Amino acid sequence: MSSGLSRRSVLQAAGIGTALAATGFSLTACSSGKTGGDVGSAGKSLAPFPTYVPWTMGPTPDLPATDKGVQAGYKKYPGNLVEAVPEKPGDGSKITIWFSSWNTTPLPRGKNQFLKAIEEALGVELDITVIPAMEYDKKLTSLMASGEMPDLLQIVPAANESQFVLARCQELTDFISGDNIKKYPNLANIPTYAWTTAGRFAGKLFGVPIERPIVGHQHIVNQEKFKAAGLLVPEVGGIGVDEFTKGLQQLTGKGKFAIGAETGGAFGFNAWMPHFGTPNLWSVKDGAFVNYLETDEFQAGLEQMVKWQQAGIFRSDALTIDGQQAKTEFLGQKVYSRVNSTIDYVNVAKQLKGQFTVDIALPFKPSNGASPTHWLGGGTYGNGYTVVKKAPKARIELLLRVMNALAAPFGSKEWELFNYGVENVHFKRNAGGDPVPTELALSGGDGPDSLPIKYIAAAPVPLYVAGQPEAVQRQYDFQQKVIPIGVRSAELGLRANAWTESARGLEKQREDAMKDIITGRKKLSDWPKVIEEFKRKGGAKAAEALAKEHEAAQKA
């Protein structure tokens, strides 16, 4: 997803966190505590990742998933839902939960029908802390420094997060490693790529991943405009970058722009760089870790982005545009494309009312002679996972049963409840049988949007767009072509303090440097200095630590 501010985040920053205290969904402040030690796997025995056991009780997808990560596609909503959780997982006890949300404040307990329904389905009482996403880092840091710990905690990687997990959270190896996961069949349905991204801590398993499509960011386009400009081709590399650029120039002018850009995301670089053969974030060469900033391919992609900016293809004031405005301008056809995720593609398709057809452009043939690739994501929400509070065995098994229920797959009654809520309250069915959210669910503070329990555990995301089978087919076709040439970052799932402690700062350094060069504040010839600064500020130490961890992981 884009890192730009949205309307929701602005609302959160404006004081929704304070409002939560009045709703019964609290925000917690914390003080002091402790963290763990060496989180790496070097020199330790490595727990096997959970055995992958696909769920087969549900509807057959119209477009089958692949073992490489292409999503299962459904051209219509299943008519006959099945039960994925035959018995209530809970015992009536209370479970405390923390997770973050970009959405509006949930209604208080006494008025929240969605909360009541999921408590009934799970057989537990839920004490939920909803953290405004813009405050997540601060709140998580406070929690890690405290003596407190909820039963279930959503974690998106942050500084010192690994040590915290090792010191304060329940090791789950004996519960979920290998065939042990089969006791929780919906968790066993989570693909291996998600577990490997959640990774090990000191060789052991602690986190349950929150699955998301592995395909990563893509160039989402206005089909009619891009087809008219000759920019939609049937195969990867089917159009050269110079011809592609001419088409972009044809679409630019009179207040219109071929490519949308915004404050975050450095002009969508994570879609353009792989076209030039750039490795994904970290790659391994002769046992050494190499960051993409150090590669000739990255500089070739950066040079192209500079040319696009000089040609006016990116708007000159792009860095003043937040994420919500960028999306609005795409929907309103002020810009004709944007770089974002599969989730965004689906959301755009659902929001369009016939203005245009949403599509995805395939990678072009670059100018540097490289073979175009595609960067894959980690296959989890923000490379995140859910951890469990230390407790006796029976309590851990209860919490895992609850997460197993929350991970009920698409086509089940439970998935519908956790994703749409209660029929005739949070959604109604249209003539085609698709669930359509009610106003209460969309903006009334009652429903899965305002209380996204799926951020604790979730099934593999289905490729489904209500009433738009063609949109499903286009995304599926795109994934079939780019996932086979896709590359993952070599650091995913590895635990190295030198990297986690410097990653956020190095990300900002990279983004600031790219913005300066693309906008002309600095020259492309300054890039070697950026690489030197990257290494000096922690990149060199991170590379050494990651290489050591990578070597250890190969012994599993």
- Nearest residue to 303 (alpha-carbon basis) of 278, 335, 331: 278
What is the reported pLDDT for 25?
A: 44
**Cα 556 to Cα 439: distance, rounded to the nearest angstrom:** 50
Distances (CA, A) of 474 to 19, 171, 332, 345, 361: 42, 42, 21, 10, 10
**Cα 455 to Cα 451: distance, rounded to the nearest angstrom:** 9
**Cα 182 to Cα 407: distance, rounded to the nearest angstrom:** 14
Task: For residue range 120-136, list pLDDT tens digits in order.
Answer: 999 999 999 998 888 88
SS3 at position 449: coil
Q: Are strands 94-101 and 152-155 parallel, antiparallel or unpaired?
A: parallel
- Nearest residue to 209 (alpha-carbon basis) of 488, 417, 403, 341: 403
CB 402 within 8 A of CB 396: no
71-108 as b/e: b if 16+ CB within 10 A: bbbbbbbbeebbebbeeebbeeeebbbbbbbbbbbbbe
Q: What is the DSSP string of 507-523?
A: HHHHHHHHHHHHTTSS-
CA 237-238-242 angle, 5° bins: 80
| CA 297, chain centre distance (Å) | 25
- Nearest residue to 38 (alpha-carbon basis) of 491, 515, 549, 390: 549
Task: For residue range 325-366, list pLDDT tens digits in order.
Answer: 999 999 999 999 999 999 999 999 999 989 999 999 999 999
CB 323 within 8 A of CB 270: no
What is the reported pLDDT for 159?
A: 67
Structure-token pair, residue 18: 């304070």
Structure-token pair, residue 74: 């459904």
Q: Which residues contact 232 (CB under 8 A, 6 or more apart)?
A: 221, 223, 226, 359, 361, 362
Q: Provide the greatest CA pair distance for the chain.
A: 66
**Cα 236 to Cα 189: distance, rounded to the nearest angstrom:** 31
CB 61 within 8 A of CB 453: no
211-231 as b/e: b if 16+ CB within 10 A: bbbbbbbbbbbbbebbeebeb
Q: pTM for this one?
A: 0.91
**Cα 436 to Cα 426: distance, rounded to the nearest angstrom:** 8
**Cα 166 to Cα 161: distance, rounded to the nearest angstrom:** 9
CB 353 within 8 A of CB 340: no
**Cα 520 to Cα 29: distance, rounded to the nearest angstrom:** 43
Structure-token pair, residue 394: 């029976």
Tell me the residue type at 509. Q
CB 475 within 8 A of CB 345: yes
- Nearest residue to 188 (alpha-carbon basis) of 170, 171, 175: 175
What is the reported pLDDT for 37?
A: 61
- Bridge partners (DSSP) listed for residue 208: 386
SS3 at position 292: helix
Q: Which residues contact 412 (CB under 8 A, 6 or more apart)?
A: 57, 58, 81, 82, 83, 84, 85
- Tens digits of pLDDT across the chain (556 residues): 333 323 233 233 333 333 333 333 443 333 333 444 678 888 899 999 999 999 999 999 999 999 899 999 999 999 999 999 999 999 999 999 999 888 888 999 999 999 999 999 999 999 999 988 888 888 888 888 888 899 999 998 776 788 899 999 999 999 999 999 999 999 999 999 999 999 999 999 999 999 999 999 999 999 999 999 999 999 999 999 999 999 999 999 999 999 998 888 899 999 999 999 999 999 999 999 999 999 999 999 999 999 999 999 998 788 899 988 999 999 999 999 999 999 999 999 999 989 999 999 999 999 999 999 999 999 998 888 999 999 999 999 999 999 999 999 999 999 999 999 999 999 999 999 999 999 999 999 999 999 999 999 999 999 999 999 999 999 999 999 999 999 999 999 999 889 988 998 999 999 999 999 999 999 999 999 999 999 999 999 999 999 999 998 887 6
Q: Which residues contact 327 (CB under 8 A, 6 or more apart)?
A: 6, 338, 344, 348
What is the reported pLDDT for 11?
A: 32
CB 122 within 8 A of CB 398: no
**Cα 195 to Cα 279: distance, rounded to the nearest angstrom:** 22
- Classify the C-alpha dihedral 404-377-61-449 as positive or negative: positive
SS3 at position 324: helix
- CB count within 10 Å of CB 403 equals 22
SS3 at position 322: coil
